[in-house]
Structure 1
Amino acid sequence: MEQAIRELDQHTTDEPAKHMLQGLVEKKRKFDTLKKKCLQGQLFTFGFAICFMIYFYYFILQPNTVDFTVILSRFVQDPFHLFFVVGIAAGYATCVYYKKKEEKAEAEYHQLRCEVIKKSQELWPQPYFWKKRHEVYTMMKSEFGINLFFESK
C-alpha cells in the first residue's frame, strides 16, 4: 500500500476506503503506463515513416522522376525497403494494440474513480468524517493526480 494512503489515520478513513484508494492509484498508474507506451509507439512509427519518406524521395523518386515503372521496380528490387515497410506496419500495429489497452484501462480507472465518488456517503458517513473527506481528496489530487471532487474527466 502507498505510504501516503497508509499514513491516513483511522479518524480520516477506514481500511475498506484505503483499499479502494489503493486500487484507484494502481488503475491510474496502469493507465499512465499504457498511455506512455502508446505515445512512444506513435512517435517511433511517425519518425520511422518520416525517415522512410525522406529516403524514398531523395534516393528513389528524385533520380527517377520520369517513369513510374522505374520507380516501382527500384523500390521492389531492394530488400532494404521491405525493412522500412515492415517496421512502419509493426509500429502501427503496436500503436493500435496499446491504444485499445489504454482505452480499456482508462475506462476501468474512470469507473472506479466514479464509484469512489458515489460511495463517498458510505465511506465517510458521519459529519466529522465527511469534513475529513476533503483532506483525503486533496491528498489524492496532490500526491497521485487523481481528482475525486468531480466525476467528469
Structure 2
Amino acid sequence: MESSILMLDERTDKATKQMLQKVVERKRKFDAFKFRHLTVLWLTVFLAFSYIYFLYKTIAIPYSYSFAAMFSAYVDNSLNLYAFVVIGGLFGLMNLLKQKKDKAEKEYHALRCEIIDKSKDLWKPKDAWKNRHLVFEMMKKNYDINLYHENK
C-alpha cells in the first residue's frame, strides 16, 4: 500500500484506504496504457509517413510513366511486403491499446465516482467528515486524482 495512504491513520478506516489504493492502482494502469497507446500511435504515423515517402521516391517518381511499371517495381522489392506488414501490425496494436486504454479509463473513472458517491458513508463521523478534504487534497497532489467532482 502507498505510504501516503497508510499515513491517513485517524482520517480513514481500512476499507476506505483499500478503496483509495485501488483507485491509485487503476489510475497508474490507465496512465501506462495511455502512454503506450500514444507511443505506438506516433510510431505508426512516423513509419507510415516514412514508408509513403520511400515509395514516392523509389517507385512513383522513377516509374511514373506507367502504372504497370510502378506495380511491377513495387512487387519486385520484398522490403515493401515487410514494411506493409509491420505498419499494419503497428496499426492493429495501436487499436488494441486504444481499447485497453478506454477500458482502464472506464474502470478508473467508475471507482473514482464510487468513492465520490460513497464519501458520506466513508467519512461518517463529524470529525472525519471535516478532515476528508485533507484526504482529497493529498490524492490530488500526490496522484492527480480528483475526488471533489465526478466530472473528469
- Superposition TM-score, scaled by structure 2 size: 0.98
What 5-or-longer segments of structure 1 have no aligned partner?
none
Aligned residues: 152
State the identity %. Answer: 40
Equivalence for 1:59: 58
Q: Give structure 1 regions of 4+ aligned residues with deviation exceeding 6 angstroms.
A: none
1:88 to partner: Cα distance:
0.6
Q: 1:132 maps to which residue?
A: 131
**What is the aligned partner in structure 2 of residue 3 from structure 1?**
3
Question: Structure 2: which 5+ runs fail to align?
Answer: none
Q: Is the 8 A contact 1:45 1:88 kept in 2?
A: yes
What residue in structure 1 maps to residue 112 of structure 2? 113
CA displacement at 1:69 relative to structure 2: 1.1
Measured in 2, the distance between the counterparts of 1:47 and 1:28 equals 28
Amino acid at match of 1:3: S
Letter of the 2:92 counterpart: A
RMSD of equivalent CA atoms: 0.7
Give TM-score, length-normalised by structure 1. 0.97
Report the alpha carbon displacement of residue 44 of structure 1 after superposing the two structures with TM.
1.1
Query: What is the rounded CA distance, in whole Å, between the counterparts of 2:78 and 2:42 in structure 1?
Result: 24
